[in-house]
Amino acid sequence: MKFFHFLLNSSVVVIVSTLGMALGMFYWGQNTPDLQGSAAVGRIHGAAHPMLTSPQALEIAYSAIKDSAEREKPGDIVVEFIQSKYRVRFFFVVSSERLLDHLLEVSVDPESRLAGKVEDKGCVAGLQQRSAEDGWETFLSGKRAFDLSVEALKGFDNYDKQGKLSIELRKSTYYVTFPLPHNEQPQPLAAAYAVQIWVDARSGKVLKVLVAS
């Protein structure tokens, strides 16, 4: 409700946000996509000014790896705002045991909205070291699971736009996690996320939409 009330107060942001909802669907294959029309009002270190969001950073980084042969392969994705830049890490599955994943890392400047050089970190220990089920080669990509999750949100945006975004593949399910909104008075007894969406890695079916308690 807060979100819609906010929109009513700013027609400019209405346009910005409306376009932003479709963000996950439209910025495929562009190295430096034009994000002027995306949901870009948010918080960095408490400063309320237009700023790139984590989903937007993911789009930019995803465009930056367009030449990678693994781009559409399954794996984990983590977007974090670290030291004034977004760090987007793509952990591609190379074996079902997932003791090691192939890591591509892209940094995204929140001001210029440009991706840095794609860094191939080679095979590294996976995030969770969760194994993937047999047939993982045919699973959806992490990015596709994210896009399906954004669709399932149906406009729900009560999460921290600049917070840590994670897409994790465990067995044959993707867990797409949107962080709790930033709270000036943190509550230590709280939920772990604003919303978490479970996506079947084979079919793309949304299995569960879990919201904070």
**Contacting residues toward other proteins, per CB under 8 A:** 1-3, 152-154, 156, 158, 180-181, 183, 185-192, 194-195, 208-213
Question: Which residue lies nearer to other proteins by CB, 88 or 195?
Answer: 195
CB-hemisphere CA count at 13 Å for 60?
29
Q: Helix (H, G, I), strand (E, B), or coil: what is residue 87?
A: strand
Question: Which residue lies nearer to other proteins by CB, 1 or 47?
Answer: 1
Q: Helix (H, G, I), strand (E, B), or coil: what is residue 18?
A: helix
Q: Which residues contact 25 (CB under 8 A, 6 or more apart)?
A: 147, 150, 151
**What's the CA gap between 32 and 30, in Å, rounded?**
6
Question: Which residue lies nearer to other proteins by CB, 114 or 191?
Answer: 191
- The distance of closest approach from Cβ of residue 194 to other proteins in the complex, given in angstroms and rounded to an integer, is 6
**What's the CA gap between 135 and 35, in Å, rounded?**
36
- The distance of closest approach from Cβ of residue 185 to other proteins in the complex, given in angstroms and rounded to an integer, is 7
- The distance of closest approach from Cβ of residue 186 to other proteins in the complex, given in angstroms and rounded to an integer, is 7
- The distance of closest approach from Cβ of residue 155 to other proteins in the complex, given in angstroms and rounded to an integer, is 8
Question: Which residue lies nearer to other proteins by CB, 46 or 188?
Answer: 188
